[in-house]
């Protein structure tokens, strides 16, 4: 994120300021488009990481007080092995796998779109 923010030329902000753009308009027109791709990639990757976290939660809190640290993977584990509902646990696991596949496809789409844009500017 920091690299994306630092790559924005100050001239753009200065030109927008001279044109009378306020701080909110400068953010919407300059800053946000510059960080949208890295922000999207980071969001997708952190969401996938949240699906993967099971062992730390299981060892440290077992879902935490009042299920405060319960994640989807921990829920699938509880459904399958604690409550002995293997069928619904398997269904939840398949849904979780499909959600991860969708997020990976979104990540790859964003990555390809970003590469296309960067090669367009170089040509």
pLDDT at 117 over 80: no
Q: State residue 12's pLDDT score.
A: 92
% of the chain at pLDDT higher than 90: 38
Q: Where do the domains of the chain lie?
A: 53-122
Rounded to 5°, angle at Cα 90 from 89 and 96:
90
Closest alpha carbon to 26 in 39, 8, 38, 40:
8
Q: What is the DSSP letter of 66?
A: G
Contacts of 57 (CB under 8 A, 6+ apart): 63, 64, 69, 70, 71, 74
pLDDT, one tens digit per residue, over 70-110 is 888 888 999 999 999 999 999 999 998 998 899 889 888 88
Q: State residue 121's pLDDT score.
A: 63
- With tokens 């990757």, the residue in question is 45
Looking at per-residue pLDDT, the higher value among 45 and 16 belongs to 16
CA dist 83 and 73 (Å) reads 15
């Amino acid at each position: 994120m920091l690299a994306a923010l630092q790559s924005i030329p100050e001239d753009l902000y200065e030109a927008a300021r001279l044109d009378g753009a306020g701080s909110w308009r400068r953010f919407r027109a300059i800053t946000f488009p510059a960080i949208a791709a890295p922000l999207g990639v980071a969001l997708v990757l952190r969401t996938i990481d949240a699906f993967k976290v099971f062992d730390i939660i299981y060892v440290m809190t077992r879902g935490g007080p009042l299920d405060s640290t319960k994640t989807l993977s921990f829920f699938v584990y509880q459904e399958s092995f604690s409550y002995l509902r293997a069928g619904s646990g398997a269904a939840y696991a398949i849904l979780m796998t499909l959600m991860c596949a969708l997020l990976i496809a979104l990540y790859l789409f964003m990555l390809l779109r970003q590469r296309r844009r960067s090669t367009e500017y170089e040509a």
